[in-house]
């Protein structure tokens, strides 16, 4: 009888501090900022007059992706000023997600609550600030009393709008990113442990069976590449939607 002892979730998240107050998640976060900085530094130093190649091509593709696929559809041409913010947010989240599939590191920094929470609170502060900057106190009116709704329904609609706009948005942004990345990490751990247990468990008959979870592990690793990109994209486009909606409520 095969007995797979799966560690508790907090067990697979326990890391030895490199030094007090600096653990693996902090390393990944700092490395993500450094790698992003180096990529855009190298891209900026390359000769811009010629057709872009290599890292510059990669960096320009990200910039055009942010502008063309995130900012223009959600904020319009007026939102292009937000490109550096969206670009840094997308790059940072992606570079925090990707270590989940890099051998040895194998931990997405966004699978812990801290970074998604900080980014969500930042977006929350930014979109509320943008709302007040563009509309003044009218932002509260446009947010809590959406036009076109019969006055009697404001009793229901206003609390719902307040909760969804000011409370649920940062919460949903945080949980969406954190939960997806943590779930992916747990899946990878599960199939890695199952493969190890079947192959090294001492039962020769089960060794060929171990190839099944191994293939699943390979597939999920490839899938996590997509998830890493997708979650960064979703977080960033939602941030753009919230900021764009606060700046131009008519949209």
Partner 1 sequence: MLRAVVTYGSTGPEVFLSAEGEEGYSSYKYEDCSIIPEGKDPQESIESLEECDPGPSPIMPEAKELYWGAGAFIVFALLMRFFLYPRLRKSMDARYESIRSSHAEADQARAEARGEVATYEAALAEVKAEAAARIDAARATLESERSVQITEVNGRIAARREAAAAASVSAHQAARGEIGTAVASVASRTVELATGTSPDPVAVSRVVDEIMSSGVSS
Nearer to partner 1 by Cβ, of 160 and 167: the residue is 167
- Pattern 97-136, binding to partner 1, x per CB under 8 A? ------------x--xxxx-xxx--x--------------
Regarding 76 and contact with partner 1 (CB under 8 A), the answer is no
Nearer to partner 1 by Cβ, of 69 and 83: the residue is 83
Q: What are phi and psi of 163, to 5 degrees?
A: -65, -45
* Cβ neighbours of residue 128 closer than 8 Å, sequence gap 6 or more: 139, 166, 246
Regarding 40 and contact with partner 1 (CB under 8 A), the answer is yes
Regarding 240 and contact with partner 1 (CB under 8 A), the answer is no
Nearer to partner 1 by Cβ, of 23 and 135: the residue is 23
- For the residues of 199-241, what is the DSSP string, one character each? HHSS-GGGTGGGHHHHHHHHHHHHHHHHHHHHHHHHHHHHHHH
Among 166, 11, 185, which residue's Cα sits nearest to residue 108? 185
Structure tokens at 84: 């550096």
Regarding 88 and contact with partner 1 (CB under 8 A), the answer is yes
Regarding 217 and contact with partner 1 (CB under 8 A), the answer is no
Regarding 89 and contact with partner 1 (CB under 8 A), the answer is yes
Regarding 71 and contact with partner 1 (CB under 8 A), the answer is no
**Residue 249 DSSP label:** T
Structure tokens at 154: 């404001």
Angle (deg, nearest 10), helices 24-45 and 83-97: 130
Nearer to partner 1 by Cβ, of 96 and 227: the residue is 96
Structure tokens at 221: 């690793």
Regarding 30 and contact with partner 1 (CB under 8 A), the answer is yes
Regarding 58 and contact with partner 1 (CB under 8 A), the answer is no
> Do residues 62 and 43 lie in contact, with contact meaning Cβ atoms separated by under 8 Å?
no
How many contiguous H segments (helices) and E segments (strands) does the chain have?
Answer: 10, 0
User: How many other C-beta atoms lie within 10 A of the C-beta of residue 42?
Assistant: 14
Bridge partners for 22 per DSSP: 19
**Shortest reach from residue 95's CB to partner 1, in Å:** 9
**Residue 4 DSSP label:** -
Regarding 43 and contact with partner 1 (CB under 8 A), the answer is yes
What number of CA atoms fall less than 13 Å from residue 215's CA on the CB side? 5
Nearer to partner 1 by Cβ, of 87 and 217: the residue is 87
- Pattern 173-202, binding to partner 1, x per CB under 8 A? ---------x--------------------
Count of residues engaged in binding partner 1, rule: CB under 8 A: 50
Question: Contacting partner 1 (CB under 8 A), which of 36, 79, 99, 131?
Answer: 36
Residues of the shown chain interacting with partner 1 in the complex, contacts defined by CB under 8 A: 7-16, 21-23, 25-26, 29-30, 32-33, 36-37, 40-41, 43-44, 48-50, 59-60, 63, 83-85, 87-89, 91-92, 96, 109, 112-115, 117-119, 122, 182
């Amino acid at each position: 009888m095969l007995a797979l002892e799966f560690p508790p979730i907090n067990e697979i998240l326990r890391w030895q501090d490199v030094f007090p107050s600096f653990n693996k998640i902090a390393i990944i976060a700092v490395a993500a900022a450094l790698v992003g900085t180096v990529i855009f530094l190298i891209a900026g130093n390359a000769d811009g007059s010629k057709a872009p190649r290599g890292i510059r091509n990669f960096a320009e593709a990200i910039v055009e992706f942010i502008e063309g696929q995130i900012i223009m559809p959600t904020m319009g041409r007026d939102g292009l000023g937000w490109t550096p913010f969206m670009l840094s947010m997308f790059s940072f989240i992606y570079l925090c997600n990707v270590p989940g599939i890099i051998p040895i590191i194998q931990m997405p920094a966004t699978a812990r609550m801290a970074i998604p929470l900080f980014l969500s609170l930042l977006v929350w502060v930014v979109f509320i600030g943008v709302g007040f900057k563009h509309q003044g106190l009218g932002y509260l009116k446009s947010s809590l009393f959406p036009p076109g709704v019969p006055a009697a329904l404001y009793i229901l609609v206003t609390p719902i709008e307040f909760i969804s706009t000011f409370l649920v948005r940062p919460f949903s942004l945080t949980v969406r990113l954190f939960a997806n990345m943590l779930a992916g990490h747990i899946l990878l751990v599960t199939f890695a442990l199952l493969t190890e247990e079947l192959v090294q468990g001492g039962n020769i008959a089960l060794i060929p069976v171990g190839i099944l979870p191994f293939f699943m592990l390979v597939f999920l690793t490839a899938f996590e590449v997509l998830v890493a990109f997708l979650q960064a994209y979703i977080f960033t486009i939602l941030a753009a939607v919230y900021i764009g909606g606060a700046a131009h409520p008519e949209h």
